[in-house]
A = this chain, B = another copy of it.
Amino acid sequence: MEIFEKLFPPAEYARRTRAVQGRMRAAGLDLIVAQDPANMCWLTGFDGWSFYVPQCVILHVDAANPVWFGRAMDAKSARITTDLPDADIVPYAERLIHHPVEHPYDALAALIRDRGWARARIGVEMDAHYYTARCHQHLAAGLPEATLGSNGDLVNWARLVKSPEEVALMRAAGEIVSAAIDRTAEVMRPGVPQQDIIAEVLHSLTRGVPGAGGDYAAIVPMMPVGEGTSTPHLTWTDKPLPTSGLAMLEISGARRRYHAPLTRTFHLGKPPRELADLAKIIVEGVDCAMEQARPGNTAEQVEAAWQASIARHGLKKESRVGYSIGLAYPPDWGERTVSLRPGDQTELAEGMCFHIQAGMWLADYGAAISESIVVTPSGADRLTRAPRDLIVID
């Protein structure tokens, strides 16, 4: 039995490689260094939790395929999960891990020189989570004749429009997260320790749904409770849920690393009138945003529709109302490209996917009822089937 089923055929990775090389030509780049694990996976299929040490794929504008560069013990993962030829799976020595003076990217610079690319115009991912200041410093020191600069996250931008096969994975992730929201509503009760709720959520997200097992999400379940709902990124504690009050859950289904995130707000006991009203305002605002999320409209138009809707109730959201989603690794399921906010004039196109994060974090409490959507010719289509309202636990 094959131990690993590759997600896409070699032709699809070749298509992506050509698309990225086209962007490289347009940007005047000979070589890119892609360290974002999602970019590595999208370009080659490489998958594994080894991104906590320096690793990357490099792609030359004229090459047949990218080159994987990583820690010796992870080279076998590259052989198992990618179709790259052995000559293009290049390990570095174990002694470079956490070495006080040397660094794995000394070896990366040597690889680039060995391939005859010492004088290349090289584009790196300056703000990718794991591309540290020290990675950059050692790479630059080892390539004194190269021109080193930002590649403008061009691989991230190449990932923006999803193929039908990718949208199918996003929809599977949507099924997975919908099932987990259902499960949460079953188990969330006053007095239950928070970690017991999260245990059920993770169990559901990981088992997945028939035909689609769950993968790990790029972010763990976040569940602010009570006044904690006035800020979005608190995780659970082992305190019991209150007899009466708020809990907000932000989770994502993941299917083969494709994500469909969702936020829902729960109220234990009868909700105060102002909270029920806020939930309605949010859902109405999301309706207005989705109405505008169609090919040809811009990202800022989608946000403006949301903002106009909540403004009718005297509200304003300072932070963006959404961002592009797709293939992702920790620590974030956003793609770091399009934001639904003023000034982002990206034109929406069929196959783009967004998390409309319609959360209002007020001074003492908050509520969020988000949607993950795919842009279709006829407008936004939801990736999930979770109930669109405040979920009241009586």
Number of copies: 2
Does A114 sit at the interface, judged by CB under 8 A? no
Which chain B positions have C-beta within 8 A of A136?
Answer: 133, 136
Which residues of B lie under 8 Å from residue A200 when comparing CB positions?
A: 203
Contact B234 A80 (CB under 8 A): yes
On whether the beta carbons of B195 and A199 are closer than 8 Å, the reply is no
Given contacts A72-B318, A227-B80, A238-B213, contact A52 B3 (CB under 8 A): no
User: Which of B76, B131, B231, B235 is A216 in contact with, Cβ under 8 Å?
Assistant: B235
Number of interface residues of A (CB under 8 A): 85
- Cα–Cα distance between A195 and B129 once the two chains are bound (Å): 27
Shortest distance in angstroms between A266's beta carbon and chain B's nearest beta carbon? 15
Q: Is the CB of B213 within 8 A of A207?
A: no
CA distance A336 to B52 in the complex (A): 11
User: Does A5 lie within 8 Å of B336, measured CB to CB?
Assistant: no
Interface pick from A22-30, A218-226, A283-291: A218-226
A120 to chain B, nearest CB (A): 18
| Interchain nearest-CB distance for A220 vs B (Å) | 4
Q: A132: which of B49, B132, B337 is its contact (CB, 8 Å)?
A: B132
Q: A124-B133, A137-B126 are in contact. Are A76 and B195 (CB under 8 A)?
A: no
The answer to whether B216 touches A206 (Cβ under 8 A) is no
Residue of B nearest to A94 (CB): B319
